[in-house]
Amino acid sequence: MSEEVLRIRTPIGIHYQYSAGPHTSSHLLGLMDGKFIGRRCPSCHLVYMPPRNGTCAKCGVLLAEDVEVGPKGTITTFCIVNVPFLGQTIKIPYVAATILLDGADLGMQHLIQEVEAADVRMGMRVEPVWKPRDEWEPSLANVIYFRPTGEPDADFESFGGHL
C-alpha cells in the first residue's frame, strides 16, 4: 500500500436507557390508546402537550392533572421543506407545521399531507392520520401525518397567543 491516509472514521455512539418519567409516560400511554394526553399547570392552567417532565416553565410548579387534548388542531406556523437531504423519505416540497391541538397551549411539530404545500396556511384546521392500530407504539410516530379537516380556518385571535 502506497497511498497516503487522508481520512479516518471516528464513529461515536452512546447507549442510553431512557426513562420517560411520570409526565411523559402518561402521554406515551395515551398514544398507545390513540389519545393525546397533555398536563395542566395547577397555577396558570396552561396545558403542556407534549407534557414536560416536572414543572411549568412559567410558574415553576409541578404539573398535575392529565388532560386529553385534540385530536383536531390548528396550524399556527409552518415551514415548506424544499431542500433534499440525506435520509429524506418524503417527496419535496412538503410542509412541517407547528400544530396547536384543541385544548393545548403548546404547539407540537408534525408533518402535513394530503394538501399542496402552497395551500397550507396559518389557522388551517387539521386532524391526525393514524397508523394501523396493530402498529401502535408509545410514540408520536403512531400519527403518520396531519391533514386538513375542511373546516373553516380558525380566527387568528384563537391561536395568535401561541406562536
Partner 1 sequence: MSGGTSEYTIAPDGSFTAPLELFYPYKRTVGPTLSRFLTGLRDQRIEGTRGSDGRVHVPPAEFDPVTGDALTEWAPVRPVGTVLSWSWQPTPVDGNTLQHPFAWALITLDGADTAILHAVDSGSADAMSTGMRVAVRWADEPSGSITDIACFEPATDPEDAR
- Which residues contact partner 1 by CB under 8 A? 1, 4-22, 24-26, 28-29, 137-139, 141
Residue closer to partner 1 (CB basis): 39 or 125: 39
Cα of 75 vs its chain's centroid, Å: 11
Query: Minimum distance between the CB of residue 60 and partner 1, rounded to whole angstroms?
Result: 23
Residue 154 per-residue DSSP state: P
Residue closer to partner 1 (CB basis): 8 or 118: 8
Residue closer to partner 1 (CB basis): 53 or 77: 53
Query: Minimum distance between the CB of residue 18 and partner 1, rounded to whole angstroms?
Result: 4
Query: Minimum distance between the CB of residue 51 and partner 1, rounded to whole angstroms?
Result: 13
Residue closer to partner 1 (CB basis): 50 or 148: 50
Query: Minimum distance between the CB of residue 161 and partner 1, rounded to whole angstroms?
Result: 32
Buried b (16+ CB within 10 A) or exposed e, 58-84: eeeeebeebbebbbbbbbbebeebeee
Sign, CA dihedral 42-29-23-38, equals negative
Question: Which candidate, 99, 95, 93, places its Cα nearest to that of 123?
Answer: 99
